[in-house]
Each structure stands twice: as C-alpha cells, then as structure tokens.
Structure 1
Amino acid sequence: MQLAIDAGNTNVVFALLDEGKIRARWRIATDARRTADEYAVWLSQLLALEGYDRKAVTGVIIATVVPRALHNLQTLSRKYFNFEPLIAGQGKAEWGIALDVEEPQSVGADRAVNVIAGHALHGGDLILIDFGTATTFDVADYNGAYKGGIIAPGINLSLDALVTAAAKLPRIAIEAPASASVIGRDTVSQMHIGIYWGYIAMIEGLVARMKVEIGRPVKVIATGGLATLFEQNTSVFDAIEPDLTIQGLAMLWDRAHMTQ
C-alpha cells in the first residue's frame, strides 16, 4: 500500500492506497509548524485503529500547496516509513500533461493533480471545480492539457470576511436555506440567502461564461467537501468526485512506477 498526502491550506489529507483504491483516509488541520514526530504519533494511532500496520506502507507520494509544510512531511516519510517520498510534479512524478498557461510553475499541485484525474476518469473538455479554502475552476481540454481557470474566495473565507467586517452580523452555519425564497425576512435568513444562493449564482454564472469561451461540449466535475451541499440546488455539475485529488496522486504513483 502507498500513503498519499494532500497538503492544502486548510487541511492535510492522508489516504492509504491499495492498487489505486482508497482504503482509508484521514485529515488534520494544516499547520506548517507541525513536526514529523507529531504527524507520526497521530497517524500511527489512526492506522492502528483501522487495523493497518505502518510497515505495510510501501511508498509515499505528497502534493502540497503549502511550501513550509513539505519539509516535515518529507521527514515523516523518511524517518517513520523509510522511504524517499515522491513529490507531485517533480522527478519521476512529473505531471505528464501540458500546463498551457503563461506561468506553469505557479500552478498549484492540487489543481494539476485534479486535471490528471479528471481527464483519466471523464475525458473530453472539462471544467473542474474544487471547493476548498479557495474555490478554483480549472479547464482541461480533450487532450488533457491544463488551459487555465479561475480562483475565487472559498465560501468559508467569504463568510469569515463578512462576519469579521460587520460587527452586528452573527456567525452562521453554511447550509442550504430552509426556504427557496431569496427575500429574507430576518438577518440570519438574509445571510443564508446571500452566502448560499449567492455562491450558487457565482458558480452557475462563471461556468456559463467558461462554456461559451471554450465553445465545445464540456463536462463539469466538482470535488471538495462542499460540492454535495450545492448539488441539491443546481444542475450545473455533471459529476461529483469527492476524492479527485487523491485519485490523481494514485495515478501519478502508478505512472511513476510503470516507467521503472
């Protein structure tokens, strides 16, 4: 089995892969100061709870958009699993796809990995929407090349900014409003409408504009924890792939070892 690690701005996801299948997954809040030893204690306990032995791990692959977290994750792999980890986008784990943008070196590892997995799973022209700290919209063409996209504030960031800047507004849960009405009768309902339906309007509007610009049939694939929250009230998604980034890391791992 392999250990895949996806270090995002909010959470680090660890997943056990067995022949490309996800056998277990865990997440921990991202903290660039967290040491390899701290990761090891936490992860060893979770492996044991799931009935796995640390010695069953035969390799490690890491994707990160948090550069300061990489060193400790590499140390975790070397010290506690006795493997030099593969780093997504480097060496044997190079992308293997064209990054057809003006600054390819600035493309986030998670976005490139999502394109790899999206193209392998769905083919054709794609719009990949990842609901994370930021909400990203990525375009992949029918050859699997990354063509660019959009970075928008994540819904949690939007809510945090609203509550922080407006002293009298309460913190609310991110959920679908109880009513389909978009005219709120009190402060909390108005906030729910603005956050939830406003976000759906943004998604639908941006996707519509992107489809016009692409000019060919396009599938829209969503990933990230909040994708299912929006699915119930929009038809914009053709598919939801909750583990798209981990699936992409599994594909990168397989590709790197097929060439050996």
Structure 2
Amino acid sequence: MLLAVDAGNTNVVFALVDGGDIRARWRIATDPRRTGDEYAVWLTALLGLEGLDRKAVDKVIISTVVPRALHNLEVLSTKYFGVDPLIAGRDPVGWGMDLDVDEPQNLGADRAVNAIAAHALHPGDLVIVDFGTASTFDWVDYRGAYKGGIIAPGINLSLDALVNAAAKLPRIAIEAPATDSVIGRNTVDQMNIGIYWGYVAMIEGLVARMKTEIGRPAKVIATGGLAVLFEQHTNVFDAIEPDLTLRGLAMLAERVKG
C-alpha cells in the first residue's frame, strides 16, 4: 500500500492509497521542527484506528513546498516504514512533462503534481485553481505542458492580514454570506461580503483573463479545501477535484515499479 504525503505551507496531508483508491487521509499542521518520531506516533495511532499495521505500507512518496520539513518525513519513511521514500520531482520520479516557463526549477511541487493529475483526468486545455495558503491559477495545455500561472494570497491569509492590521476589526469565520447583497449593514457582514464576494470576483476575473489569453476553450478544475465553499456562488468551475494532489502523487508513484 502507498503512503502519499503532501507537505504544504499550512498542513501536511497523509493518505493511504490502495490500488489507486484513497482509503484514508489525515492532516496535521505543518511544523518543520516535528520529528520523524513524532510523526510516527501520531500516524501509527491513526493507522490502528483503520485496523492497519505499519507493515501494510510498502511504498512512500513525498511532495513538499517546505524544504525544512523534508528530512523528518524521510526519517519517518526509512525508520518506521522501512522504505526509501520517493521524492516528487527527483529521480526516479521526474515530472515527465514539459515545464514551459522561465524558471522551471522554481515551480512548486504541489502545482506540478496537480498539473499531472488534472491532465490525466481531463482532456484539453485546463486552468487549475488551488485554494491553499496561497491561491494558485495554473494553465496546462492540451498536450500536458505546464505553461505558467498566477499566485495570489489565500483567503485565510488575506483575512489574517486585514484583522491584524485593523485594530477594531474582529476575527470572523469565512463562510458564504446569507444573501447575495453586497451592501452590509454591520461590521461583520461587511467584512464577510468583502472577503467572500471579493474573492469570488477575483477568481472569476482572473480565470476570464486567463481564458482570453489562452485563446482556446479551457476547462476549469478547482482543488483545495475551500473549493466547495466557492462553488456555491459561482459557475466558473467545471469540476471539483478535492484530492487532486494526492491522486497526482499516486500516479507518479505508479510509474516507479518495485
């Protein structure tokens, strides 16, 4: 069984993949100081809740955008699962696609993995919108080449900046407003409108501009935890793929036999 690990700026997501199907998934806050031993205690307990032993895992693949977290995840794999982990983007797990950008070496592993999975799942040109710590918009052409994209502040990051910089503004939960009105009658409603509808407008506007520049029909694929929240009030998405990164990691691992 494969253990796929996606280490992002906010969370590290672990998933058990069996025959291409995601059997279980867990997440823990990203902390580069967390040791392989700490990961092992936490993960062993969760495996036990699924009725599984560590010995069920015979392959590990890791994707990370937090370089300092990689070493301890490698220790987790070698010490507790007895396997040398595959690292997404490194031999023998190269991307296997054309990175048609100025600085291909600087492309985040999560974005490359998303591109691989999206191209495998959907034909034609694609715009991939990933809602994470940053919100990213990526273009993958019909041949599967990565052509570039956009990096914008994530919605939680934007809200944190607003609350931290304005002393009288309260911390609010991010949720869809109760009505479609964009004129709030109190501070909390006005903040919710600004954050939520402002973000919807940004998504729709950037996707429209990307489609115009691409010049061909492009399918919009959304992933990340907040994709479903925005799906309620915009028709810009053609498909929601909540496990896009994990599925891409499974596809990469499948290329490496043994």
Question: Cα offset for 1:65?
Answer: 0.1
Supply the distance in 2 between the matched residues of 1:151 and 1:51 (Cα, whole angstroms). Answer: 40
Per-residue CA distance 1:23-67 (angstroms, 9 max, x = gap): 000000000000000000000000000111110101100000000
**2: distance between equivalents of 1:123 and 1:6?**
25
Q: Supply the distance in 1 between the matched residues of 2:170 and 2:50 (Cα, whole angstroms).
A: 39
- Measure the CA separation in 1 of the matches of 2:37 and 2:253: 25
Partner residue of 1:26?
26
The one-letter code matched in structure 2 to 1:115 is A
The residue that corresponds to 1:169 in the other structure is 169
SS of equivalent to 1:97: coil
Give the Cα–Cα distance (whole angstroms) in 2 for the partners of residues 211 and 59 of structure 1. 39
**Secondary structure, counterpart of 1:147 in structure 2:** strand
Whether 1:89 and 2:93 are equivalent positions in the alignment is: no
Write out aligned runs for 1:235-250 (5 A): 235-250=235-250
Question: Does structure 1 residue 124 correspond to structure 2 residue 124?
Answer: yes
Structure 1 residues 177-235: Cα deviation after superposition (integer angstroms, max 9, x where no partner): 11110001111100000000000000000000000000000000000000000000000
In 2, Cα distance between the equivalents of 1:163 and 1:44? 38
Supply the AA of the counterpart residue of 1:184: G
When normalised by structure 1's length, the TM-score is 0.99
Structure-2 residue corresponding to 1:232: 232
Q: CA deviation at 1:92?
A: 1.2
Corresponding letter in the other structure for 1:213: E
Which runs of structure 1 show a deviation greater than 3 angstroms over 4 or more consecutive aligned residues?
none
Q: Secondary structure at the match of 2:70?
A: helix
Residue in 2 that maps onto 1:189: 189
CA contact (8 A) 1:97 1:145 kept: yes
1:3-82 paired onto structure 2 within 5 Å: 3-82=3-82
What's the RMSD between the two structures over aligned residues? 0.6
CA distance in 2, matches of 1:155, 1:182: 18
Q: Which residue of 2 aligns with 1:254?
A: 254
Distance 1:76 1:123 in 2: 37
- Mapped to 1, the partners of 2:35 and 2:230 lie a distance apart of 36
How much does 1:123 deviate?
1.8
Q: CA deviation at 1:130?
A: 0.4
Structure 2 CA distance, aligned partners of 1:2 and 1:207? 34
Q: List aligned pairs for 1:105-144, cutoff 5 A.
A: 105-144=105-144
Identity in percent: 77
- Residue type of the alignment partner of 2:105: Q
**In structure 1, distance between residues paired with 2:129 and 2:246:** 15
Q: Is the Cα–Cα contact under 8 Å of residues 123 and 144 in structure 1 kept in the other structure? A: no
Q: Which residue does the alignment assign to 1:180?
A: 180
Moved more, 178-187 or 229-238: 178-187
Matches within 5 A, 1:194-209: 194-209=194-209
Gaps of 5+ in 2: none
Cα deviation, residue 253, structure 1: 0.5
Structure 2: how far apart are the matches of 1:92 and 1:57? 19
Hey, what's the Cα distance between the residues in 1 that align with 2:54 and 2:76?
12
Q: Alignment partner of 1:93: what SS?
A: coil
CA–CA distance in structure 1, aligned partners of residues 255 and 147 of structure 2: 22
